[in-house]
Amino acid sequence: MSDAHLDQDDVHSRTFLEMAEKAAAENVTMFLLGDMFDLWFGTSRLTFDFQKPLIARLRELRGKGLRIVYVEGNRDFYLEREHENTTLDFVCDDNLRVPVGGLRVYMSHGEMVNRADLWFRFWRAISKSRFANRMVSLLPGWFFLPLAKRLERKLKRYNRRHKESFPEEDCRIFAAKRFAEGIDIIVLGHFHQERLIPQIPDTDKQGTGPGTGADSGARKNLVVILPFWKEAYRYFYIADDGSTGFRSFDPETPLIP
């Protein structure tokens, strides 16, 4: 799943924890592809108050067997420093290649797919730099967090404009390179749109839209775009037998069919 964008203690945050609790009970590994919070800094004194009980609960669940693999998004900063092996099992700041269900899976938040968004690419290079990391680590929370929240609201307005259309051609070019390297499935977030795009090199075989390809069975050369989680609590699963699909979280239903 991706883009939970939790920003307060509300039903969305509680449902997220409910899903994590279910994953722990069912021995399901959660792959979170970034932007779990609107902003998340890997320094305890730069943690928003509402985040603290969520993080504490994830750490408790991890002690009970929950496994969380996290790929940072554009709202995540230097999480490895304090959250790897505490809140999360593994933190990756760019992309992850991992075998799941007999498939070679490439996972990334996806913010670098759109080549036309030059301003964002510049912002990412600055905000993720070692210099920015050092400067942020020196600032007191009482000063930095309100400033960061104001900046986040401005970025949210900018991102909304750039997510109105999906960069399909850029996605095809990006995917073709990964498939040529032997990847079977590419999973991306960031765009807040649920899409399954099979066989990217073949322009005549495309499927898009919510629910497309659910219970699709074992698939290769498939691009998965994860939706904005808050809208319908949707996630994508890969089972041990290689079957895949989108599902909506239901506390009364197993996470993986």
As separate numbers, helices (DSSP H) first and strands (DSSP E) second, the chain gives 8, 13
What is the per-residue burial (b if ≥16 Cβ within 10 Å, else e) of 190-205? bbbbbbbbbbbeeeee
pLDDT 10s digits, 57-89: 999 999 999 999 999 999 999 999 899 999 999
* Residue closest to 192 by CA, chosen among 40, 37, 29, 35: 35
Q: Taking the CA atoms of the chain, what radius of gyration do you get in angstroms?
A: 18
Each residue of 110-125: b (16+ CB within 10 Å) or e? bbbbbeebeebeeeee
* Interval 19-29 mean pLDDT: 98
**pTM across the whole model:** 0.87
Q: Tell me the two tokens of residue 64.
A: 């009970």
pLDDT tens digits, 188-245 = 999 999 999 986 554 444 444 434 444 444 468 999 999 999 999 999 999 999 999 9
Residue 125: helix, strand or coil by DSSP? helix
Structural domains of the chain ordered from first start:
11-248 (3.60.21.10)
**CA–CA distance, 141 with 44 (Å, rounded to integer):** 9
H, E, C per residue of 232-255: HCEEEEECCCCEEEEEECCCCCCC
